[in-house]
Chain A
Amino acid sequence: MTGGSRRELRAAPKSRENLLGYLFASPWFIGFFALTLGPMVVSFLFAFIKWDGINLEDIKWVGTANYARAAADPDVRKALVNTAYYSFLSVPLGLAAALGLAMLLNQQLRGISFFRTIFYMPSVIGGVATIMMWIWVFNPEYGLLNDLLRGIAGIIAKVGVSAARTWEPPKWLLSQEWAIPSLIIMSVWGTGASMLIFLAALQNVPDSLYEAADLDGAGKVSKFIHITVPQISPALFFNLVMGIIGSFQVFTEAFLMTAGGPNKATLFYVLYLYNKAFQDFEIGYASALAWILFIIIMAFTLLIIRSSKMWVYYAGE
């Protein structure tokens, strides 16, 4: 008994250890080759074919035609503009809201955990169920949002601004101009996760820095710009990268709330990709679209990482 185990301890043969390692990691290896690397290669090749995904005999090699088609496709342009519009507004607004809430929670207030819970909750529970609820909030006639707006307009009208009397609130999801802003409002509602990451960063800023600034007679604004912002810049960096990656993949909201409408006003990139892949069964074209998205997301991520050397401050560097 002891002899056997001692032998194992002394000389677990190298090949046996290798085998054990690969065996333990084998679920991931299967997944990596069958569901990541293999499909990546296949998807890359798909981007150069024309196929409806049914009969292998129908596969036609078309070279770079899919990419050329995407470059000329007005719907792709529309989807890219929509997605960029959504992303470049929802991410900064979400980050600003998250930072503002985190700073509010970072004040020494009683019952802070109650407020933190409320602000954080939407980002956890948000999904199809809350999307359905927001559809009803955005309803132009019977929704809460416009009820509030009409109330405010009524007060302004009473004060004497006559323009407010005839003012009509937006039709939100039903309007071409307001559909994307509606989705942005909803996305800011779900900013709680970024808020918690900011809050953790704020709580890690050493008090001594603020105390030193106080001695130098620094004001609130100056302390915020010269101490808080550099100190939390790693959190800002992380939230920015995750926000950009996430917002470029926006799908479910538009699929459920507007189906890309009205008049393609919310036709987002992934929604278009989904339509091409699973409604039109254009395997090749949709694969090319997926790779274009990959390259766009990669480019933005690398751009942020590159620029981070100039604005992200890491303690101890």
Chain B
Amino acid sequence: METRSGAYYRVRRNAWRLSLYALAFGLSFAFLFPVVWAFGASFKPLIEVYRFPPTFFTWPPRWQNYPEALSKLPFAAFIWNTFVITISSTVGQILSASLVGYAFARLNWKGREFWFLCLLATMMLPGQVLLIPHYLIFKNLGWVNTYKPLIVPSWLGGGAFFIFLFRQFFKGIPQELSDAAKIDGASELRIYAYIFLPLAKPIVITVGIMSFIGHWKQFMGPLIYLSDYETYPVALGLRMYQQVEGGSFIHYLMAASVVALFPLLILFFLSQRYITKGLLLTGSKG
């Protein structure tokens, strides 16, 4: 009796686990299928793309889709532009957010607490309210059709959330460290640059990756400020594959999308730990 009921529970537990695995695999397929589907289409000749009923892959793969798609439009330039915008913004966000975070965490100045509240309040403001004034400001500065509207704001504080992250981290560093450096005659700027910033490496990486991904994917900013297609980042460039030639070149659009997705995929797999950490930091704030 005893052993029978033990076996019964073991079977039941295994059946339960097995069905959980089946569910997990089924869901994994569901989450992957749009990308796999596009990946398959990116290797099809156009006639196979429009074959009914549709298939996942056709043999042989049409490798030429990739070189053809990438040369139809200045795709290499799109990627390069994206890198220029993304890297410049990311560096700016890291430097200015850490500097400002240092001011809020380690320097005593009048009104600090008040301004910190103002900083937190800016997180609540949806960007649409600022959209039109920003456009007019940048237009009058002659910055439309340059990358400045996309990059310069990143250097001016780097966003409330990133400042907040650096501030929290810097607050936890013992005061003795700063005092010792001051006795050696180091200025605040040196203490920030040579002691605090290196110590904040985990935050720098987390902020850097979050910023990189955010800028890589940004769409509305470039859409508003850039009109010359040779200056487009890849997010805008992809859109041209939709329009140019009437949108019937799905295999090229899919090939270009796969290439555009690639850097994000690589970054995701290399730094999932940091991305997750950044996300959970966002969550713990709430």
Q: Which residues of A contact B (CB under 8 A)?
A: 1, 4-6, 8-9, 17-25, 27-32, 34-36, 38-40, 42-43, 46, 53, 101, 104, 107, 109, 114-115, 117-122, 124-130, 132-137, 141-144, 147, 150, 189, 193, 196-197, 200, 234-235, 237-238, 241-242, 245, 249, 251-252, 255-256, 270, 273-274, 277-278, 283, 286-287, 290-291, 293-294, 297-298, 301
Contact = CB atoms under 8 A, between A and B. Distances in A.
18 contacts: A17-B108, A24-B102, A28-B119, A32-B118, A39-B130, A39-B137, A46-B133, A109-B20, A117-B272, A121-B31, A125-B265, A129-B258, A142-B54, A249-B126, A251-B220, A290-B129, A290-B131, A301-B124
Interface in B25-66: 27-28, 31-35, 37-38, 41, 49-54, 56
B11 to A, nearest CB: 18
Interface in B159-203: 163, 179, 182-185, 188, 192
A142 B52 contact: yes
Interface string B105-146: 001111010010011001011111111111111000000000
Contact of A20 (B107, B131, B133): B107
B277 to A, nearest CB: 10
Given A129-B261, A142-B49, A32 B157 contact: yes
A145 B286 CA distance: 37
B261 A125 contact: yes
A127 B220 CA distance: 12
A133 B37 contact: yes
B72 interface: no
Nearest to B237: A128
Contacts of A142: 49-52, 54
Task: Give the interface centre of B28, B38, B153, B188 by most chain A CB atoms within 10 Å.
Answer: B38
A294 B156 contact: no
B163 A28 contact: yes
Interface in B81-114: 96, 99-100, 102-104, 107-110, 112
A8 B182 contact: yes
A114 B29 CA distance: 12
A190 B88 CA distance: 27
B257 interface: yes
Contact of A107 (B20, B109, B236): B20
Main SS at interface, chain B: helix
B19 to A, nearest CB: 11
A23 B260 CA distance: 40
Contact of A104 (B23, B179, B269, B275): B23
Given A278-B224, A290-B128, A34 B156 contact: yes
Contact of B188 (A24, A31, A147, A252): A24
A28 B268 contact: no
Given A9-B183, A136-B38, A286 B132 contact: yes
A277 B132 contact: yes
B31 A122 contact: yes
A24 B134 contact: no
Contacts of B38: 132-133, 136-137
Nearest to A291: B129
B280 A196 contact: yes
A43 B104 contact: no
A25 B115 contact: yes
Contact of A125 (B119, B128, B268): B268
B31 A118 contact: yes
